[in-house]
């Protein structure tokens, strides 16, 4: 009948878990450090605007993932190479 059967389906192997959606867990799982009181002046999000060149910044705690150098935090993929 031409039906193609995937031999891996139904063999008792559970499917892989879905990707983590909790930002803190995603941060840790991809090599970052979760900071409950990160700087509002220096966003670690991929695609975030650069810091204000005037140096003016509000002192404010922002929970955020701090990735290793040359990486930025993508909310879907975690710490990834900065563009």
pTM, entire model: 0.65
Is 46 in contact with 83 (CB distance < 8 Å)? yes
Q: Which pair of tokens denotes residue 42?
A: 């220096």
Give the C-alpha distances (Å, rounded to integers) separating 53 from 33, 42, 75, 76. 26, 12, 26, 29
Q: pLDDT tens digit string along 6-23? A: 555 555 666 655 555 689
Q: Per-block average pLDDT, block size 10, for the chain (83 residues)?
A: 60 58 90 91 81 74 92 94 90
Q: What is the pLDDT of residue 9?
A: 57
């Amino acid at each position: 009948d031409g039906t193609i059967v995937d031999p891996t389906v139904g063999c008792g192997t559970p499917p892989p878990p879905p990707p983590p959606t909790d930002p803190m867990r995603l941060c840790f799982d991809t090599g970052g450090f979760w900071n409950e009181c990160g700087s509002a002046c220096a966003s670690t999000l991929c695609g975030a605007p650069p810091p204000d060149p005037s140096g003016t910044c509000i002192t404010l705690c922002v929970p955020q993932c701090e990735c290793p150098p040359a990486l930025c935090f993508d909310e879907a993929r975690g710490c990834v190479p900065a563009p």
